[in-house]
Structure 1
């Protein structure tokens, strides 16, 4: 009987081992599947629409895009290790060299009504699409931080047949995120930047102005990457209905963190929506605002690197806590730095910036500081007012 019992015990032990092995394999498979599904592999370069979409479209379909590849004259594609960059350069070759840098969610089209009049005034202007925006490719495996954007500027400047990088080689106009990038670039290469104009610049947005849920969702990694990308894309499709002026609280912590801040706070996606639409004005928006919104929606459909680039920018770009760079701006020659803020801007709040930014960069005796009509998107809703201040700053007729 004892021998029989031992024999009968073997199958039981084997069955237990088989069950454990099956459980382990299943668990590993499920974890791997979840990781692949929710935390996708990052590619070095995510191609932009110029190579993935535009070649498949007819001329009539391309003509329907509000920001077309030939939107500005002097277009070129700059090949870099980070992917291709879409650049435009036009205006008199011997004019003041002006580089314009757009914001977080749009393309350089938003600075059209600043760039074109400057070129007509005799400036040599250069615009480009930030990585992952417009027609520029998206690096997929690096953080979208100051290092990446400063490198992109250097690559863009080096692509010109003209010299842009010498002593006092250029002036920079940066809007929103572009203002934060421009400030950090000028602080890093002070000799290169003759004059610096910051339009509703990011960089010193107070973290407490954003809701806790919004910061938690984007900065902790508790929401799986693919799910967060889906929520972000969904939110960016509704810049008008979900604008900051319509503060209707919604249930759901993750959705609330993406749709609006709690306790009247902004949320991190308001950086994007306020570049596309004025949250103070009621619909209908201006014709150009609608064009900007249309292109944001087009990019969401046809630029696969846009949402990953946007999410990384929210996490790593110079939106907040850039005091170290801004202190360096105080060392600039008096009268070579200008800051323009919108009267109704709820994102870059003028009172906050008067208190936080103005002392850092040397005070009113050192900086050309003006408030112009409009909200956060005043560079294209009130471009004439912004241009008037720019002409005043440069003493242009």
Structure 2
């Protein structure tokens, strides 16, 4: 019924032959890749080569035979029973963005969108932990309007991407890096040099990917990123929920689903909790009240608020909550200084085209505190290698609500932006702003990134 959303080209079948010949490899062995000579790395990850597909499989830690079948996304479990009219009214409808394709993989199907001029500068966008790729719709369209070729995809377990079973697959660095490479491999054009824009969890994944594949990434924009979140912000309740073994998994899933569920109702507690990061927006800084976000993600679709999309996933994607939980437990969210330091080494040794890292932060973000992230990022990346931009009045929803500011950053990376004397100037968080933000909440729940 939805064949019009098929890929721009048939998916390569050679992958199946190559994958069957590849045994599993530990995720820690990924670090060996970055020490290979430049030409050898290119040969391994060539976007059009079977060798590149083979590498995708070696990035995973468990064998194919040990995996349980993935949990199907709403593309299989919901859409076949809906009329085109009903499908069009969904918070996340199947024609949400141009250039849709569904990429098959051993982990399940991945929903990918790619559009914009084929010869434009390439930009890969990675969304956060709870809202799928349509959270970056405004940003994607504005980048295309500036002549960029963009690619977005739903992380496993979100939107229209299947969910590998968390019983046999960790939602960790290996899985997400493999997913990125699968998406790049599926493109009808060659993605050999591009800018990555990662939002929250997507920022942590983008930084991790860049540390392993410096020759592919020419620009890196981390928007309210995870990766360096200080563990002191993990609340005791979240440690008990996500990190303890005494609670049965069905109970964990139930509790997490309840914390994620918004019901389009007012939220006034724990605004800095990981489950609330994308679904709340500051109503008043003085009294620290938060409301369910009413940001419309898809033009002309009043059903596509951030909160409605999250609730839609809870109701219609059986893999969403398990994927969320496994991501909190295993994704590169905390203590990634060792991987970020590799980015610094690669910049300073000119191991790839990346010259500096841009970090865009929200001034009132209760999840990614601008002052802490600024301090930690400069320490690990080096002050000469990082540019910090703090957006006044913005919270954690910065990538959703401040797309124009991010577009200006991407244009500066391409050398087409405004001068430093314009409104594009970077700003630093002040100590007075720090005390103001602390009023929004005491401790972050869980691995606080979206």
List gaps (5 residues or longer) in structure 1.
Answer: 1-41, 248-259
- Distance change in 2, residues 1:194/1:393 (3 Å): closer
Please say if residues 283 and 291 of structure 2, whose CA atoms lie closer than 8 Å, have aligned partners that are also in contact.
no
Residue 252 of structure 2 corresponds to which residue in structure 1? 228
Q: State the shift of 1:241 in Å.
A: 5.2
Structure that is richer in helix per residue? 1
Q: 1:151 aligns with which of 174, 178, 182?
A: 178
Matches within 5 A, 1:93-108: 93-108=118-133
Residue equivalent to 1:161: 188
Q: Which runs of 4+ in 1 moved over 6 A?
A: none
1:319, CA displacement in angstroms? 1.2
1:295 aligned residue: 309
- Corresponding residue SS for 2:364: coil
Question: 1:395 is paired with a residue of what secondary structure?
Answer: coil
CA-CA distance at 1:280 after TM superposition: 5.0
C-alpha distance in 1 between matches for 2:94 and 2:373: 36
Structure 2 CA distance for partners of 1:220 and 1:287, relative to 1, 3 Å:
closer
Aligned to 1:370: 389
Q: Which residue of 2 aligns with 1:186?
A: 210
Equivalent residues of 2:264, 2:292 under 8 A apart = no
Contact persistence 1:176–1:202 (CA under 8 A): yes
| SS of residue matched to 2:281 | coil
In 1, the alpha carbon distance for the partners of 2:363 and 2:409 equals 14
Following superposition, the deviation at residue 387 of structure 1 comes to 2.4
1:261-300 equivalences in 2 (<5 Å): 266=272, 270-281=273-284, 282-283=290-291, 285-288=293-296, 291-300=305-314
Q: Which of residues 148, 163, 173 in structure 2 aligns to 1:138? A: 163
Match of 1:46 among 71, 75, 96: 71
What do the CA deviations read for 1:220-269 (whole angstroms, capped 9, x no partner)? 222110011011111111386574xx34xxxxxxxxxxxx49xxxx4xxx
Contact persistence 1:335–1:367 (CA under 8 A): no
CA deviation after TM superposition for structure 1 residue 394, in Å: 3.2
**Structure 1 pair 284–154 and aligned structure 2 pair: CA distance change class (3 A):** closer
| Correspondence for 1:380 | 400
**Aligned residue number for residue 339 of structure 1:** 359
Change over 3 Å in CA distance of 1:390–1:321 after alignment to 2: same
- TM-score, length of structure 2 as denominator length: 0.70
SS of residue paired to 1:161: coil
Which whole-Å CA distance do the structure 2 matches of 1:121 and 1:384 have between them? 11
Tell me by how many angstroms 1:395 deviates. Answer: 2.9
Does residue 394 of the first structure (1) align with residue 414 of the second (2)?
Answer: yes
Supply the distance in 2 between the matched residues of 1:278 and 1:92 (Cα, whole angstroms): 34
Task: With the length of structure 1 as denominator, give the TM-score of the two structures.
Answer: 0.79
- Match in the other structure for 1:306: 320
For the pair 1:357 / 2:377, whether they are aligned, the reply is: yes
Alignment match, 1:257: none
Question: Does the residue aligned with 1:368 lie in a helix, a strand or coil?
Answer: strand
Tell me which residue corresponds to 2:92: 67
1:279 Cα offset (Å): 4.0
Post-superposition offset of 1:285: 4.1
- Report if aligned partners of 1:330, 1:361 keep a CA contact under 8 Å in 2: yes
Extract unaligned runs of 5+ from structure 2. Answer: 1-66, 285-289, 298-303, 418-450
Q: Which has the larger radius of gyration?
A: 1
Report the aligned-residue RMSD: 2.1
Aligned residues: 332
Match of 1:322 among 330, 336, 346: 336
Paired with 2:189 and 2:134, the residues of 1 have a C-alpha distance of 23
Once the two structures are TM-superposed, the CA of residue 272 in structure 1 deviates from its matched residue by 3.5
